Amino acid sequence: MGTKGREIVGVKLDELLKLLNKALSDEWLAYYQYWVGALVVKGRMHGEVEKELSQHAKEEFEHAEILAKRIIQLGGTPVLKPEEWYKLTNCGYDAPVDPDTEKLLLQNIKGEQCAISTYQKLIQFVEGKDIVTMHLLIEILEDEVEHEEDLEVLLEDLRSFK
Ligand code: FE
Ligand code: FE
Ligand code: MG
């Protein structure tokens, strides 16, 4: 990033880069959890759930790209080793060992709720101090809020047809 672009960042760069790499690790784990979940899902409404999970996988991948590009722009290095994801993650990884639609929805809702809290805190950290990062984080948070809602609506449908 250019000199002036970095100069306007009013938070400790080391700390910001660490937090962005933690969020990047979350996004990769979320991506994989959705991606593999969409492949293994079984049970009632599996078609609809599969569609939503693979859509979310794509969006988590896009979040990873947005974060990695901003990390580079700030002069940092995005996490280079997958083994680091587990060390840095805020929200962890919930393996879809039970492929039942309801179980998968509950696991992923929990993940989205963690993502929402994580981005909320991150936005508060950069608020008014790094507008460019804040803008990117708000866009991601909007998606996470939508993800949670989409999954909760599916869960409600699933339960109402029991
Ligand atoms: Fe995400
Ligand atoms: Fe999400
Ligand atoms: Mg959706």
pLDDT tens digits, one per residue of 43-54:
999 999 999 999
Report how far apart, in Å, the C-alpha atoms of 97 and of each of 54, 60, 121 are: 17, 21, 30
* Concatenated DSSP letters of 80-118: --HHHHHHH-SS------S-BHHHHHHHHHHHHHHHHHH
Ligand 1: centre distance to CA 64 (Å): 7
pTM, 2 dp: 0.96
- Count how many residues are written for the chain: 162
Cα 144 from chain centroid (whole Å): 7
C-alpha angle 108-58-66 in degrees, rounded to nearest 5: 105
pLDDT over threshold 90, residue 112: yes
CATH classification at residue 20: 1.20.1260.10
**Is the pLDDT score of 162 beyond 80?**
no
Residue 22 C-alpha to ligand 1 middle, in angstroms?
12
Residue 96 banded pLDDT, cuts 50, 70, 90: very high
| Structural domain boundaries enclosing 146 | 3-160
Ligand nearest to the CA of 34: 2
> What mean pLDDT comes out for the span 92-115?
98
Task: Measure Cα distances from 55 to 25, 61, 92, 101, 161 in Å.
Answer: 19, 10, 20, 16, 24
pLDDT (0 to 100) of residue 3 = 84
Q: Residue 158 Cα, ligand 1 centroid: separation in angstroms?
A: 24
- Extract the tokens encoding 36: 């593999």
How many domains does one find in the chain?
1
Please compute the mean of the pLDDT values over residues 88-99 and round it to a whole number: 98
**Percent of the chain clearing pLDDT 70 (strictly above):** 98
